[in-house]
Amino acid sequence: MQEHPFVPFIRILGKGKKGSRSLTFDEAETAMTMILGGQTTPEQIGAFLMLIRVKEESPEELAGFIRAARAQLGFPSDTAEGLPTVDLDWSSYAGKRRHLPWFVLSARLLAEQADVRVLMHGAPGSKDDRVYCEEAVRALGLPVCEDLDGIAQAVTGGGFAYIDLEHLSPALKHIIDLRSLFGLRSPINTLLRMLNPLSAPYIMQGIFHPNYRDVHQQAAILLDQPHMAVFKGEGGEAERNPDSECPVLGVRGHEAVVETWPALFSRRHIAPETLDVPKLAALWNGEIDDEYGEAAVVGTTAIALRLLERATGPEDAQAQAQALWVNRLG
């Protein structure tokens, strides 16, 4: 039988400790292009993803995967052809288990009070004990879009838009859903955090495993991303945990940077027994007080303001974010 064209990529990864190696940027792009283009078998996809999973993605592999995924989206490359313009790309694929997704209020605060055009994208997971982004977005009455026209209308009207991955890329949605078969995350979970489908100049990313911060930072530089912030967020989302010190790795003007943000409390808060999604709107409307929730919203907004070059440093960013929060009720 003639060897399948995808076999060399599996062979590169799977020849053992001495014979295997990571893919180059171009190899990774070609491999992911074949996967997303339907040129591989299900068996090959499973083998490839799990081999990458075991060794963990290199920056070159991640960058190559992302470039292939962006090309597969098939969006027009020029705003004159209908591509909406957004300032800040905000991915959300982890879901929250211990605390509510307070970061959605941060995105809303930036959109409505700081004139930032935010695109949030995500996908519901298979874990019933988590609150995923779209549920929170809908509970707050924020726009959930299904296409580019919807995004353009939403960000023009209110500065914020959310779109599910299935409307961005059915192929990527299919592969991320394979987690229920693997029982493990795959490189697609990493890729999606940096997908940035509308080429926003600023990317906000949360991760769960701290060692991935360096990989994301280096991949962003390889992709010539001008501005990016990545940090270990609460539950793996781009949400600052106010109870812990928060190192933020990023790219500022194409250069690698790192800043450490202090904990906002000297004691740790006890997580609630249940996640009551309506509390998001109640806190926004000033109907309830929640010390942890408010600190998470303001602290996350501060990191975003620093990323957006609106603040001179963490202290200035925190003060500006607090002012935005106070002013949200007019």
pLDDT at 77: 55
41: exposed, middle or buried (Cβ count in 10 Å: 0-12, 13-18, 19+)? exposed
**With bands split at pLDDT 50, 70 and 90, how would you rate the model's confidence at 139?**
very high
Q: Where are the domains of the chain?
A: 7-73, 82-327
User: Within a 13 Å sphere around the CA of 128, how many CA atoms are in the beta-carbon half?
Assistant: 0
With a cut of 60, say whether residue 80 has pLDDT above it.
no
Residues 143-172 have a mean pLDDT of 96
Residue 232: strand pairing partners: 207
24: exposed, middle or buried (Cβ count in 10 Å: 0-12, 13-18, 19+)? middle
**With bands split at pLDDT 50, 70 and 90, how would you rate the model's confidence at 81?**
low
Topology (CATH level 3) of domain 7-73: 1.20.970
Q: Looking at residue 305, what DSSP letter applies? A: H
**With bands split at pLDDT 50, 70 and 90, how would you rate the model's confidence at 83?**
confident
Chain segment 270-289, per-residue pLDDT in tens: 999 999 999 999 999 999 99
Class of domain 82-327: alpha beta
Instruction: Report yes or no: 293 and 283 within 8 Å, Cβ to Cβ.
Output: yes
Q: Where in the chain does DSSP place strands (E)? A: 88-92, 118-122, 144-145, 160-164, 202-207, 227-232, 246-252, 255-261
Listed residue (66, 114, 122) closest to 89, CA to CA? 122
Indicate yes or no: pTM above 0.85: yes
With a cut of 80, say whether residue 112 has pLDDT above it.
yes
pLDDT at 53: 93
Which residues, in sequence order, are CB contacts of 41 under 8 Å at separation 6+? 4, 6
pLDDT at 260: 97
